[in-house]
Amino acid sequence: MVSMCKLSGVYLFRENISAICACGSAAMFFCIVFTGIAFAEKILIYDEEKGIVSVDKNAPAPVPGKSGAAAKTPQPINEKERIRIPSNGKSIDGIQRGRPKDPPEIYFESGLQYFKNGNFDDAVKNFTYADSLDPQPQYLLWMGKSLRQLGKTGKLLFVMNRLVTTYPESDVADDALFEIAFCYQANDDYNKAVKAYTKLAEQYPFGTSYSNGENFRTVAYEQIKIMQNEMIFTLNALGYAGDDIEFLLGSFKKDNGLSVNNSGDRATVIAIKAAYEKLLEVKAAKELHRTRLKKYSKASLFMCGLLFINFILLVVLNRKMAARKKNLAAINLMLSDLTTGVL
């Protein structure tokens, strides 16, 4: 009897275990199915009856206005007609698009305002962004002007050469060539500056400045003359006589161990200006010494005058004291005579 009870208990225990395992397997199956459905990539579509609904990405869309057995075979949804939502919950296309970009003219005007206010860094940023939206030669020109104010020579030459090369027929190409020539002049490369100014005068004889309306032909020849006169004056001050610029440059280069090619390249101009500055320093030192000598001479004369006056005063006082001594001696003699007569 006991054995039968034990067998019955074991049998019931096994049946319960089997039922529990079956239920667990079914529950796991449904969990996997629902998890796959939940984490499958969903899309939002518009249904005329239900409104906006979430369906599986690969599921066919119902045909609008049809239902039940009369409905036609659904067709795949066009990618343009649905909003994709990935499993991470972030929108790919996004329902709200970014606002339209401002036109490049807005950035150009902002750059001009920054330029007028002396904020050249922000001016360059605005001109650069305007050029990226709609490349225009005037954007490059003002970008170069701003770079000149910032002292960025390399970038300035790159931008201006790009303007001259890309837009040679534009109304600001002559302005760009002037910026190139002026940049060379400001950096003491007179040889390249003269070539650029000459090209400006010959290629754009009627060109005028975009900013102030000056005739570039006149300005170019004036700048060339200024550079030549500066070199002649400086070399004359250094002891090289004459007004033949090529001869003067050749003589200076020969005396200073530079390559003799009779041209005002950057190394030569820098050497000439350095020698002239040294000469000015020597002259300034001599002038300072001369000024100090004059100052000390005046002080010495003043001291000598004081000493002479003191000497005169001492002589006068000495004479007065001698006269008083004589008077005292005479008075003493008279007193002694009176005393003798009384006795």
Strand partners, 317: none
CATH of domain 104-223: 1.25.40.10
Using a pLDDT cut of 70, give the percent of the chain over it. Answer: 70
* pLDDT per position as a tens digit, 153-207: 999 999 999 999 999 999 999 999 999 999 999 999 999 999 999 999 999 999 8
pLDDT at 9 over 80: no
**How far is the C-alpha of 269 from the C-alpha of 168, rounded, in Å?**
31
**How far is the C-alpha of 176 from the C-alpha of 163, rounded, in Å?**
7
Structure tokens at 313: 């005063």
Residue 63 contacts by C-beta under 8 Å, 6 or more apart in sequence? 71, 72, 74, 75
What's this model's pTM, rounded to 2 decimal places? Answer: 0.58
**How far is the C-alpha of 249 from the C-alpha of 265, rounded, in Å?**
10
* pLDDT per position as a tens digit, 216-234: 999 999 999 999 999 999 9
What residue type is 73 in one-letter code?
Answer: T
With 0-12 / 13-18 / 19 or more C-beta atoms within 10 angstroms meaning exposed / middle / buried, residue 177 is buried
Find where tokens 């040294």 sit: 278
Q: What φ, ψ does residue 42 adopt, rounded to 5°?
A: -105, 160
pLDDT value, residue 88? 44
What residue type is 108 in one-letter code?
Answer: F
Q: Pick from 217, 221, 242: which is nearest to 232 by CA?
A: 242
Cβ atoms of 264 and 231 within 8 Å: the answer is yes
Q: Say how many C-beta atoms besides its own lie within 10 A of residue 217's C-beta.
A: 18
Report the mean per-residue pLDDT for the chain.
78
Give the start-to-end residue ranges of the domains of the chain: 27-61+76-94, 104-223
Using a pLDDT cut of 90, give the percent of the chain over it. Answer: 42
Q: How far is CA 136 from CA 128, 170, 171, 194, 240, in A?
A: 10, 10, 11, 28, 49
Q: What φ, ψ does residue 243 adopt, rounded to 5°?
A: -130, 10
Structure tokens at 212: 């102030």
Lowest mean pLDDT among 97-101, 243-247, 257-261, 303-307: 97-101
